[in-house]
Amino acid sequence: MKPIIGNRYKCAVCEDFDYCEKCEESIDHPHPFLKIKNESQHPVAIMTILREDAPPKPSTNASSLFSKLAESLNISSLIPKLPVIKAEVTETTIASVENIYTEIKEIIKSVTIKNTGNTTFPKNSFIEATGDIIGAKVPVPELEAGKTFSTVLVIKSPCQAGNFASFWRVGYTDDKKQTQYVSETCELNFTILNKPVVVPKVEKKVETETAGREFAPEIVTKAKWLSEFLPQYTLEFLTEAVYLAGDLEVEDLMENLIS
């Protein structure tokens, strides 16, 4: 109660600590009080010596219960959390060609994006290449916190042999049209090879007679190539088939023979 009306109870130990009569009766306090009936009796100073071995009196009133509740209360839970936009990008394995050669124009990589923040991604989020090796920018959906999103990245090949790395980050465009990145850089590594040169075997003279015919060396070469995949046919039969096929590609001829 403020101001105190009636008798004032001044703590003999605490500095400037007073109770009204009602509070003194209902609220427990560890120290003795001095009862003051009028303000003219208010002391300027009080000296009090307490026993050091005196056990504190247990408190069971509403004030002590409130104090215990305040101590156990997690104050941080009452403070509103600021939105944190954060992402994590990891490369995932996909089935692809075993080797990447210099004539390949685009390289495919697969990644998984996880929302590691505490709020949903903005609607204009994306993942883009941030290094010298560029790639197609990919939109990222409004991913909720803790959710993941998998996508395929198309990287422009340097078209030369060597070891390379492409760097990607997740970001969004803010209200000021500025890019804000929300992930660490994901490094995607790949190796480009020179395509091996196949040197055809040159024969001095290749002649195969079938039904009294003599065939050109290139026809015999195609027939021998087919015989490796179609061992059920004789070389003579395949040579005749290549000859009769004319300009038909050898792969198409093999498909016709299989079917």
Please list, in sequence order, all residues whose beta carbon lies within 8 angstroms of the beta carbon of residue 104, skipping any fewer than 6 positions away: 97, 157, 159, 192
Structure-model confidence comparison of residues 127 and 100, the more confident one: 127
- Judged against a pLDDT cut of 80, whether residue 10 lies above it is answered with yes
> Domain boundary at 143, 164, 193, which?
193
> Domain boundary at 193, 221, 243, which?
193
| Amino acid of residue 209 | E
- Residue 206, pLDDT score: 44
Query: What is the pLDDT confidence band of residue 79, given thresholds at 50, 70 and 90?
Result: low
pTM: 0.49
Provide the edge-to-edge strand list for the sheet that holds 8-11.
18-20, 8-11, 33-36
- Residue 122, pLDDT score: 95
Same domain, 178 and 101: yes
What is the extent of the structural domain holding 215? 209-258
- Ranked by mean pLDDT, which of 46-55, 114-123, 220-229 comes out on top? 114-123
For a pLDDT cut of 90, what percent of the chain falls above it? 38
What CATH code is carried by the domain that includes residue 163?
2.60.40.10
Instruction: List own/partner pairs for 247-252 with CB under 8 A and 24 or more apart.
Output: 250/222, 250/225, 250/226
Query: What is the pLDDT confidence band of residue 21, given thresholds at 50, 70 and 90?
Result: confident
Same domain, 69 and 149: no
> Domain boundary at 50, 78, 106, which?
78
Same domain, 106 and 63: no
- Residue 171, pLDDT score: 97
Per-residue CA distances from 131 to 128, 163, 178, 189, 231 (Å): 9, 15, 18, 12, 52
Same domain, 213 and 135: no
| Amino acid of residue 10 | K
- Residue 119, pLDDT score: 95
Contact 106, 156 (CB under 8 A): yes
Same domain, 69 and 95: no
DSSP label of 35: E
- Residue 58, pLDDT score: 47
For a pLDDT cut of 70, what percent of the chain falls above it? 80
* 120 belongs to a structural domain: yes
Rounded distance between C-alpha atoms, residue 186 and residue 138, angstroms: 14
Same domain, 160 and 244: no
Same domain, 96 and 158: yes
* 199 belongs to a structural domain: no
* Number of separate domains in the chain: 3
* 223 belongs to a structural domain: yes
